[in-house]
């Protein structure tokens, strides 16, 4: 983990490394089996690539245990991933949305969170050349680590 002032900064490589370290340390809050950093990285990139393919056709992805992966329209031809965590995810990790975020989302015309589509884990796993169960569990581990990091740190920036 790298600190930028009071912020804790994670890129995807650091996030995957953190997931591996937590599994090796046997943290009681960690879930799943030990998976290599390369596998975490492959799973995350396949997930993001699949989400981006949905966003390109104007759909947001509903990940019930994590959140809705939609997009923010930055310019006419540029969309960036935007995640709105589910209430379940927030409660599991003792997190709360800041009121100004809810106001920002409600007032913003450039954040798109629907129509929703369900995740196609079979397609994502196939693109990663992994077993669907391994893919799904690894992705859940990443979501879990994200929740833990948000809970443990006052300000977290995750560059995914």
Q: Render pLDDT for 80-94 as a digit per residue (tens, 0 to 9).
A: 788 889 999 999 999
Residue 1 · residue 14 · CB < 8 Å: yes
Range of the domain at 133: 2-159
**Tokens at 139, concatenated:** 């992705």
Query: Model's pTM, two decimal places?
Result: 0.81
Residue 123: half-sphere exposure toward Cβ, Cα within 13 Å:
10
Q: Which residue has the higher pLDDT, 56 or 153?
A: 56
Only one residue has tokens 């560059």, namely 159
pLDDT over 50 at 158, yes or no:
yes
Residue 117 · residue 54 · CB < 8 Å: yes
Number of domains in the chain: 1
Query: For residues 19-34, b (16+ Cβ closer than 10 Å) or e, as one string?
Result: bbebbeeeeeebebee
Instruction: Compute the distance between CA of residue 106 and CA of residue 9 in angstroms, rounded to an integer.
Output: 27
């Amino acid at each position: 983990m790298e600190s930028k002032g009071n912020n804790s900064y994670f890129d995807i490589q650091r996030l995957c490394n953190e997931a591996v370290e937590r599994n090796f340390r046997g943290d009681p809050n960690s879930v799943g089996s030990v998976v290599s950093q390369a596998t975490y990285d492959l799973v995350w990139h396949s997930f993001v690539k699949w989400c981006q393919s949905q966003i390109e056709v104007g759909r947001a992805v509903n990940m019930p245990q994590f959140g809705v992966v939609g997009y923010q329209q930055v310019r006419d031809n540029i969309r960036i991933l935007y995640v709105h965590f589910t209430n379940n995810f927030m409660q599991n990790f003792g997190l709360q949305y800041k009121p100004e975020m809810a106001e920002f989302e409600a007032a913003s015309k450039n954040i798109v969170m629907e129509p929703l589509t369900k995740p196609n884990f079979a397609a994502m796993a196939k693109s990663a050349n992994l077993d669907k169960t391994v893919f799904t569990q690894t992705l859940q581990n990443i979501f879990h680590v994200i929740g833990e990091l948000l809970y443990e740190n006052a300000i977290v920036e995750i560059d995914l």
